[in-house]
Structures are given as C-alpha cells and as structure tokens.
Amino acid sequence: MKKSFRLLLASVVSLAVLIGATAALFVLRPHLATIGQVVSTKAFGLTALLAVYLAFAVGRHALFRPSRRLPDSR
C-alpha cells in the first residue's frame, strides 16, 4: 500500500474511534454516575480524554507497524 493511502486510512479510523468513544462515554455517563459516583465532571472529562488518546495511539500503532511476511517457499 502507498504511504499516503495508509495515512488517510489511519486518519479515518482514528476519527471514527474518536467519535465512537465520545458518543459511548456520553451515552454511558448517567449510568456511570449512578453506579460508581463519578468524583467530578473534570475527573470524568480527563478520563474520557485519556481513553480517547489511548485508542488513537493504539490504532495508529496497529496501522503503521511493519507487516510480517512469510518467506516465499517455492
């Protein structure tokens, strides 16, 4: 694959993960508050940002790591 295509693909996947993680956190926020008593809105926001950043970093690492190819045995 070309490097520019992989970069575009990584950007699209990262954006999808960011939107999905943000939506999931906002949907689950009331349930998390009633179950675990979230300490404060700031703590929740920082936790959400950390989770989104980690998802972004793992996604980019998975897309840009060198692929392992099996030796051609003919």
Please write the tens of the pLDDT for every residue from 45-54.
Answer: 777 778 778 8
10 is a domain residue? no
pLDDT tier for residue 25 given thresholds of 50, 70 and 90: confident
38 is a domain residue? yes
57 is a domain residue? yes
Structurally, the chain folds into a number of domains equal to: 1
Residue span of the structural domain in which 30 resides: 21-64
73 is a domain residue? no
Residue 57, CA distances (Å) to 5, 15, 34, 45, 47 in order: 18, 12, 30, 18, 15
pTM > 0.85: yes or no:
no
71 is a domain residue? no
Please state which of the ranges 22-26, 35-39, 50-54 shows the lowest mean pLDDT: 35-39
Picking from 22, 23, 13, the residue whose alpha carbon sits closest to that of residue 58 is: 13
3 is a domain residue? no
- The answer to whether residue 70 scores a pLDDT higher than 60 is no
Picking from 55, 60, 58, 53, the residue whose alpha carbon sits closest to that of residue 6 is: 60
Half-sphere exposure of 58 (CA within 13 A, CB side): 8
